[in-house]
Structure 1
């Protein structure tokens, strides 16, 4: 590998990169020798030539979402997703798309949609899987029941052979006479086996697609290579056919007593012309219900123990709905029809995120892919399910089921123990028995994800020795040296080899954080990432640093892989002291988007905090950790002479010098101190003769007011008190009496985010003493700063798991928006009738979301444009730390900056987070306000004037 790296300047052979590529979305772990991200076909060809010269195997990789272990290998991995990802052309007349191998399916669909077209096969990973990967694995997805599989739509492929030749081929010829002759000879010699054993049903993708070479199929060489998993050639380009999108669609959701009834009904629904016939069982829905904040759409499901999603097309919305109702009435099942985009998307999200959701059972037990992709003729599915459930009961296993029931394809996640030798032996026995059951029902082990490491060994249980010999010859014709993706399909690796996590995967001390969702195990927390790759989505909030760099190392998944390797102690030496792991985590913004957007709620912000705590334990830290982590104390000291401090920091040379001394980014401006703190303002206001007194009613009786506690966070107290001041006035107008904690408080977030967890715990523990009486009295704690508010709700119990006060604090803390949205008394606000750009805080998104903010803004008459790209990019300490400037600005440029710049002067910019407002003010010509400021404005608008009160 050293010689290969010397000849390949583009090769990445460092331990950090190799660790990030050890796994895809399967249960397997293989450490590559090198990774190359080709920029063009020439660079890919050079890499393959060098690998061939050194006898190093080559594995192609797209989005890395393969569930069978077919995108990992021990030699050279070619990742096409970073650079070779262009949509070359859309031809609306021919209804084709020509793409590079790394083109993301979602991007191709968006380009095709401009012409009323789409790609028929649409796996649930469409937002990050690549066309090259789809060709490799023979991807299908929900709509393949109507619009065909990847093989059905592949017209031409550009294939790089192991010998360096690049061939462009479709139907009729490879373009190479000798190659044509050998393929014809193979086909003709095995004609009987090919015709009787292959192509029996749509989801039979196990093995090679030799039936595509039959005369009646046009000797379609390109399609014969679909599903070959990179073992015959490396796809460098493709032309695929597109289909017309129906004018309108409605979603028919049917509820059945059990999954067998759902499976029995599926074939008729497919024959009736449904565009999808997707199934899922109650175990999956129960797992989703167990995820706080993730169960959107579940309440829309009709009653049942299993469900089918049938999308019905029509000439217009009314026609689609009428057709869906007609189909529903004919089934005899409980059913509902949905046409509203918001509700249909909520329902589809359940099915779309199934692969991630199913990684954890409802009770928190881990479930794994392995028997993930079996398929039988659709009419045999119910019987197959019964036998499979009997096997699970016999072996005391439970799992969740989803699948493409209309085509007999089943996805099953099972609670195997993959952390012990005995558990892995049980896994093998289960898989072998399940394979025999599938074959007995006329099926096979693979229905759309390929055979890979998970199922290639099972081909001997599925096909005759004669057909297996044909597979071997097919591989030898294309790749006689066995260079491409070795161990897959032909001469397969054992299905229980290289299983992760495997025994001995966690060799390090217990974390300081409770990690309650993972029973206190850092390894268990990291294992949450099965690799479905939602962090690589081009849209959404996750993961800002990956969106900026495009580097797998900087994705949430890549970081999880690196942490997993650290815990194994093999490829990354040094354990918690590892500099490679610190480097991988350095660009994590700790925005917590993964906590909400990842289907299995990976919380990389918490893992980063734990790592930094362990990494620097007993050692000096970067200066930025002291300057930013100890901000609450520094703010308190500086507030003794705020005007003098501000006068100094406003001088550019002094400010830059202070930033350098503190180890901070010198392109940043230091935030100004408030001339008086929020606490000082509050005390002065309380000395007024009227403020804080209970108001008198019309009959002169005193009206009792509920008391709420306002949390005076560091940012609102020392740096920007306006939001807290406005919050007080809004709460009082709503009829609340506002008090502050009995003494100084801090949630400890700045210490937490810099990994100073011991200090964070001590600070929080001391702060809770100022709240004990308030919490015991049942008072609500209202947060102003979203990051601190969420820390009170979540990090408090992780830092102080044995504290009843912390648990009460988490339960009794709310945001201003939530309190206002649920307020049932008099509405003291007038209409603002304005437009606004809303930057939701990323920590709020990791918790309750911004629904309450939108509800309040709507009631104020504000037309709101929401920034959906997630973190503003400053992210507390992140944007002030050196080396983060480019990622910080890139994150803001995704959507926040453009929307702010495009907003006219009358449009309000709303951002509750101090970091968000700072980023906006430092990166644009505009300023932003806290929601409390808008409510305060509306309060002024809605109140009677003194003259009106006198006359009233």
Structure 2
């Protein structure tokens, strides 16, 4: 863009921003915000000019008024999880998910609920179940339901896993509250349209006009609408104009469902509710391949199941590769699986049906193996594999038997009649082979809807040509099978161009007439359904410069032919927009988004800004110096939960470290990077004068102003109490009495690594850990003085981190395979994952393989019968603050397993980030968010349990957050809980008598 054109565009954007703010709207025209909303979950990138967050229908009308005056297109957006590209647009994006989330009255007699368009589906279902004591629920449950919104589901006519029983969103839509492009406020329902406010005469006139136009379109196309639309359960492509037929009751609401935001903006709805079954059971069936699985669908449908879902072995392998073998419950033998959900009021009757069906399929069907899964926890584990299919299949396990590691949507949503699915699948696989492609298959087999992600090369002209040729051939194939281009996701930018292969010119003419009646100036989501853009226009991977970005972390390995832009570009482009980071329950990510509900603070939002950075757009700064990326990363807690919870494996903590390392290279850093970021070095000094330092940092009225000023000068928040420093020799005295050998003696079977945080702040934990390990009867040796470099890593000081870790690897690599047990979970995670990433030597890899978190090692000892020591009193129940880094590096259930193995009966997990997260909660400007994050799990768990119930805080950050929230209820380390010494928890007694072989007098 030339300077004159760029200046004109800037002036136009300034005028747009001014007009939006004058209208009283929550609007943003900043480059970082536009980067976040340039993408959805599709292959497309369309950069908008502004984003508005309406709080009411009046705000929507005001935004539309500005856009009418300026001739600016408008795209409505919910959770931004569209895989067809119907949630991105070049003008104004209306994000309805931020504020329009209210859930209104539930009418149990009418089986309806009033809800705003931005309400999340899972939240709606949960709230309905709460208000009706579990009698009713909201049925549509797409895999994205924990972040997809009601408005988005209406836009796409979304379905979900249980659509075999409950059908599509259109079947649950009673009325829709709308704002039209010309500002009318209307309500659509069976029988037609009316003004939402009866006193609004202008809207009443518009309702009558529109209703007449829609009746005229239906009357002119009766035959086509009856013959070509509504032929199969999942015919979602195009407008659903069959609902305008007289025999369908001229249901304008249902005709609008699936219109993808091209006719009006949906701001609210009355949705139908269904009874919630009292009992459910999962039948898991194994097959040779997905075609064999599809052959059994007709038989399964005879049993009236609630769901019949299919997945292939590539998704299961990737789930285990990314999250560990425990992430997937035991699967029957096979290379593909069906999940069959059976439900009813009588658990015994449901179980009997399941066993009979399993026996029949093994005898008469194509199943190789199968098992019933009545346990709800195991069922959730299996469903998680299916629900994360889109993300998991985007970056596959190295042994997934594909020639490319990446796969993409584009033809992920076709549908046929269920009885034709096997034949269609077989032909589709052959077509993939003809084009040199492969695919990862999953989907709603019981409804004939197939999801498949395909190994397109969308980075090259040749690959994009193959993408287009295959998509055209695939469209012809599904039509030949009597199917639909889209069965759930809508046509969007991915398939609208191909609607002419599926529908006659007369039907396409009806679509155009309906669009003209609703939106005569073409403002609403142009390029979708009517007058479509080319399916290869605006592809996100086109135009990314082939520039190598040097990084300290390896960031994954690429296969042959995938290395044009290097690992960093591929890593940040790993975010495909599925948006699990926007969920309010399940897992740990993304704590900052859960606190702010702002896309900026989601893992996805940050990834999108990084993706714009690697495009090197002119208004995105200059690469590593991008201020937009720096701003997007400000509230990232570096909790590492996304590395585990994100189905696509996005590791934002690592990307943040890399970016900060480059961004601040040769620049003055924030003061906290010098104080907190180099804390282990400072602890070497503070350990010499702990009493003087603690006295100076004590919060007293007389010195409070001076203390607060000093903390601010150090880059710290003055609202948080400063932890007490320990003397340098405190941890040595604690460990000495446990019979732990000095470092380097080679006499221990276990090496105890006491980290800087434990040495500097919690030396009593070092003593407890030493006693617990020694009490197992196995000799223990103390690790040499070494550091995990965690604080340098989290603040992006990677050069220093590499030097520190190189010394650590050399010190710990003693030629043995002895486990290195690390007291602090975050340090254990750094040694397990970051050490071999930053120091790529055999020594580093050997040391990392030996590292155990304390909880992980305790589990091994307890299962071997070596812990806890005889006579150790254990509480009947505990509250566990799940440590984010341990969760990510060692598994979500690490501490639960340890406590169960040790014999603790009841464990309540506060599964969520504590909010302090290393340096984050101590830094100036982060205090409020830190407390808001604590409210997601930790603070409620503290309030909900008796003060006598111990709170386990293995991490120093977690410990400090609990101390701040509840000074009367200090947290304890697992080692303190299992410490065999009487009075160990409060440090009142010294010395123990280990069970065996620990009578040395050695000290570390």
Indicate whether the TM-score tops 0.5: yes
Question: Structure 1 residue 766: deviation in Å?
Answer: 1.4
Gaps of 5+ in 2: 1-12, 195-206, 399-403, 997-1004
Q: 1:793/1:834 Cα in 2 relative to 1: closer, same or farther (>3 Å)?
A: same
Aligned partner (choices 696, 709, 715) of residue 663 of structure 1: 715
**Post-superposition offset of 1:722:** 1.4
Is residue 2:796 matched to residue 1:755?
Answer: yes
| Aligned partner (choices 753, 769, 776) of residue 727 of structure 1 | 769
Choose the corresponding residue for 2:614, options 567, 571, 584.
567
Alpha-carbon distance in 1 for matches of 2:167, 2:235: 13
3-state SS of paired residue (1:736): coil
CA contact (8 A) 2:173 2:253 kept: yes
Q: Deviations over 1:55-99 (max 9, x none)?
A: 000100001111100011010000010100111121111111110
For 1:372, the equivalent position in structure 2 comes to 412
Pair 1:303-2:327 in alignment: no
2:40 to 12, 24, 31: 24
1:448-503 CA-to-partner distances (Å, cap 9, x unmatched) read 01000101011011111111111111100111110000110001111011111224
Matched, 1:468 2:508: yes
The worse-fitting range, judged by mean Cα deviation, of 220-229 and 403-412 is 403-412
Give the conservation status (yes or no) of the 8 Å contact 2:51–2:92.
yes
Partner of 2:119: 103
CA contact (8 A) 2:444 2:450 kept: yes
Match of 1:53 in 2: 69
1:233-259 CA-to-partner distances (Å, cap 9, x unmatched) read 000110111111122111111122221
Q: Distance in 1 between matches of 2:712 and 2:208?
A: 68
Q: Residue in 2 aligned with 1:7?
A: 19
Partners of 1:852 and 1:631 in 2: how far apart?
28
Asked whether 1:813 is paired with 2:813, we answer no
Which of these residues, 624, 627, 647, is aligned with residue 576 of structure 1? 624
Any idea what SS the aligned residue of 2:979 has? Answer: helix
In the alignment, which of 656, 663, 676 is matched to residue 608 of structure 1?
A: 656
**Structure 1 residue 437, shift from structure 2 partner:** 0.7
> In structure 2, what is the equivalent of residue 804 of structure 1?
842
Q: Is the counterpart of residue 547 in structure 1 residue 594 in structure 2?
A: yes
* Mapped partners of 1:542, 1:294: distance in 2: 21
Q: Tell whether 2:343 aligns with 1:327.
A: no
The match for 1:78 is 94
1:477 and 2:517 aligned: yes
Q: 1:877 aligned to 915, 919, 931, which one?
A: 919
CA contact (8 A) 2:688 2:727 kept: no
For 1:696, the equivalent position in structure 2 comes to none
Residues 769-804 of structure 1: CA distance to partner in whole angstroms, max 9, x if unpaired? 22122xx12221010000000000000011012x11
Q: Which residue matches 1:784?
A: 823
More deviation, 567-576/453-462 = 567-576
Q: Is the 8 A contact 2:41 2:85 kept in 1?
A: yes
Aligned to 1:533: 579
- Give yes or no for contact 1:213–1:220 (8 Å, CA) kept in 2: yes
Out of 900-909 and 48-57, give the one that drifted further. 900-909
Which of 256, 260, 284 is the aligned partner of 2:291?
260
Instruction: Give the secondary-structure state (helix, strand or coil) at the position aligned to 2:414.
Output: coil
Question: For 2:696, which of 648, 662, 674 is the aligned residue?
Answer: 648
Alignment-derived partner of residue 143 in structure 1: 162
User: Could you tell me whether the CA contact under 8 Å between 1:57 and 1:486 is conserved in 2?
Assistant: yes
- How is 1:82-97 mapped onto 2 (pairs within 5 angstroms)? 82-97=98-113
How far off its partner does 1:301 sit? 1.7
Check whether the contact 1:831–1:941 (CA below 8 A) recurs between aligned residues. Answer: no
Residues 910 and 141 of structure 1, relative CA distance in 2, 3 Å threshold: same
CA contact (8 A) 1:831 1:938 kept: no
Q: Identify the residue that residue 999 of structure 2 maps to in structure 1.
A: none
Cα distance in 1 for partners of 2:321, 2:769 equals: 34
Between 235-244 and 390-399, the greater mean CA deviation after superposition: 390-399
Per-residue deviation, residues 895-937 of structure 1 (Å, max 9, x unmatched): 2123223432311111100011011111223210100000005
Relative to 1, partners in 2 of residues 1:294 and 1:164: Cα closer, same or farther, differing over 3 Å? farther
Which residue is equivalent to 1:435? Answer: 475
Q: Which of 502, 525, 528 is equivalent to 1:488?
A: 528
**What is the correspondence of 1:112-151 to structure 2 with a 5 Å cutoff?**
112-114=128-130, 115=132, 116-151=135-170
Alpha carbons 2:48, 2:92 under 8 Å: kept: yes
In the TM superposition, what is the alpha-carbon distance from 1:578 to its structure 2 partner?
A: 1.4
For 1:562 and 1:900, the matched residues in 2 are separated by 36
State the distance in 2 between where 1:307 and 1:349 align: 14
The aligned residue for residue 955 of structure 2 is: 913
Equivalent residue number for residue 5 of structure 2? none
Q: What is the CA deviation profile of residues 535-554 of structure 1, one whole-angstrom value per residue up to 9, with x for unaligned ones?
A: 00011311111111111011
CA distance in 2, matches of 1:878, 1:870: 15
Flag the 1:111–1:56 CA change in 2: closer, same or farther, 3 A: same
Cα distance in structure 1, aligned partners of 2:286 and 2:820: 42
Q: 1:859 to 1:288 in 2, by over 3 A?
A: closer
How big is the shift at 1:939? 7.7
Three-state SS of the structure 2 residue aligned to 1:894 is: coil
- For the residue of structure 1 that corresponds to 2:340, the secondary structure is strand
Inter-CA distance 521–672: structure 2 relative to 1 (3 Å threshold): same
- Trace 1:195-274 onto structure 2 (pairs within 5 A): 195-274=226-305
CA distance in 1, matches of 2:548, 2:811: 36
Task: Show the counterpart of 1:276.
Answer: 307
Q: Please identify, of 814-823 and 895-904, the stretch whose mean Cα deviation from structure 2 is larger.
A: 895-904
Counterparts of 1:673 and 1:20 in 2: how far apart (Å)? 42
Partner SS, residue 879 of structure 2: strand
Distance 1:648 1:792 in 2: 34
Indicate if the aligned counterparts of 2:443 and 2:449 stay in contact, CA closer than 8 A: yes
Shift of 1:267: 2.5
Q: CA deviation at 1:108?
A: 1.1
Name whichever of 319-328 and 406-415 sits farther off. Answer: 319-328
Residue by residue, what CA displacement relative to the aligned partner does 1:19-58 show, whole Å, maximum 9, x if unpaired?
Answer: 1111111111010110001011111110011111110001
Alignment of 1:484-523 (within 5 A): 484-505=524-545, 507=547, 509-516=549-556, 521-523=567-569
Residue 811 of structure 2 corresponds to residue 770 of structure 1: yes
Range 669-678 or range 106-115, more displaced: 669-678
Q: 1:677 to 1:918 in 2, by over 3 A?
A: farther
Q: Is the 8 A contact 1:400 1:413 kept in 2?
A: yes
Distance 1:295 1:468, change over 3 A: farther
**Corresponding residue number in structure 2 for 1:698:** none
1:844 to 1:722, Cα distance in 2 relative to 1, 3 A: same
Give the structure 1 partner of residue 197 of structure 2.
none
Deviates more, 1:904-913 or 1:931-940: 931-940
Extract unaligned runs of 5+ from structure 1: 694-703
Distance in 1 (alpha carbons) for counterparts of 2:129 and 2:736: 61
Match of 2:786 in 1: 745
Separation (CA, whole Å) in 1 of partners of 2:183 and 2:608:
32
